[in-house]
Structure 1
Amino acid sequence: MQTASLAQLINRASRALARDGDAALRPLGLRYAQVPVLASLSEGAELTQKELTEAAGIDQSSMAQLLARMLRDGLIRRAPHPRDARSHTVVLTEESASHTAEAHRQLAELEERAVAGFTPEEISSFKSLLARVNDNLEKS
């Protein structure tokens, strides 16, 4: 039997986290794909679509689709940009802001399950190695 490649293992873990993250967030009316936006806008932050795209590390069209769905579902609202009349900022609605603490708790439990049996040193090393993989891939 052939050993799975690094890319296959990362992809499988990513899909499992997304699947289980969706299941954990569904009762809150949220989806795992929305987590980068929710995290970036937590605590009253107001960011432009471009800033959210950069923070999430996804392409502009994907972010536009994600924000359109979140706007439709009442999770975000657009506000006039305070310094640029041609632009808007994105902010969380009161409803979605009230769910962020519970969403954070649910995702922390999922992360704990994902690294069950790892030592704190292994977790730290794993995070560092994954950050380096991401940095290497983002350079190209």
Structure 2
Amino acid sequence: MHSAASRVEAALGLLLRRTTRANLYDNLVEDVEGVDETTYPVLSGIARLEPVSSTRLADEIGIDRTATTRYAARLERAGLVRREPDAGDARSTLLLLTPEGRSAIDSARRKVVDRLDGIVAEWTPLEAELFATVLEHLVGKLRTES
């Protein structure tokens, strides 16, 4: 029998696999012009952190800075992201969402919630609440330990 911790580790491993994320991102952005599985993490990261430099964004989302900059440029050409000078560092620019970018990320997040609603609808309300609480606790502990 496997311990609870080893079961969590195995499940997290599957959840964090690139193929799992790519499948999720593909579904989220299928109707969003200018966003695909490679640019979605950048768009989502900007939404969480804006205004943000490419360097900080790259650190936060785990994509190297060169790729992050390239993906941000694609999002900028699509009208979803804009750059502005960093008042604190004349050599740097900050990334922000345009209104179209905000709309795109809001749409993608609604799709995630809808998909998760469909999954947890098969659970009892107690199971769904317990899972959400435990997941929030686990993520909180992992973030404070890193």
- The offset of 1:19, in angstroms, is 1.0
Output the CA distance in 2 between the equivalents of 1:40 and 1:108: 20
Output the CA distance in 1 between the equivalents of 2:49 and 2:144: 20
From the superposition, tell whether residues 83 and 37 of structure 1 become closer, same or farther in structure 2 (CA, over 3 Å). Answer: closer
Q: Which residue of structure 2 lines up, in the alignment, with residue 50 of structure 1?
A: 55
Q: Which has the higher contact order (CA 8 A, sep 6+)?
A: 1
Q: Which residue of structure 2 lines up, in the alignment, with residue 39 of structure 1?
A: 48
Identity of aligned residues (%): 20
2:104 aligns with one of 80, 99, 107: 99
Equivalent residues of 2:46, 2:96 under 8 A apart: no
From the superposition, tell whether residues 19 and 75 of structure 1 become closer, same or farther in structure 2 (CA, over 3 Å). Answer: same
Q: Which residue of structure 2 lines up, in the alignment, with residue 121 of structure 1?
A: 130
- The offset of 1:65, in angstroms, is 3.7
Equivalent residues of 1:21, 1:107 under 8 A apart: no
- The offset of 1:134, in angstroms, is 5.0
Could you state the TM-score of these two structures normalised by the residue count of structure 2?
0.66
Q: How many residues align?
A: 132
Output the CA distance in 1 between the equivalents of 2:142 and 2:119: 19
Structure 1: 4+ residue segments shifted above 6 A: none
Q: Which runs of 5+ in 1 are unaligned?
A: none
From the superposition, tell whether residues 21 and 135 of structure 1 become closer, same or farther in structure 2 (CA, over 3 Å). Answer: same
Q: Which residue of structure 2 lines up, in the alignment, with residue 26 of structure 1?
A: 30
- The offset of 1:51, in angstroms, is 3.4
Equivalent residues of 1:25, 1:103 under 8 A apart: yes
From the superposition, tell whether residues 134 and 98 of structure 1 become closer, same or farther in structure 2 (CA, over 3 Å). Answer: closer
Give deviations 1:28-66, integer Å, cap 9, x for gaps.
23344232223333xxxx222233234x34254243343
Q: Which residue of structure 2 lines up, in the alignment, with residue 12 of structure 1?
A: 14
- The offset of 1:125, in angstroms, is 0.9
Q: Which runs of 5+ in 2 are unaligned?
A: none
Could you state the TM-score of these two structures normalised by the residue count of structure 1?
0.68
CA RMSD of aligned residues (A): 3.2
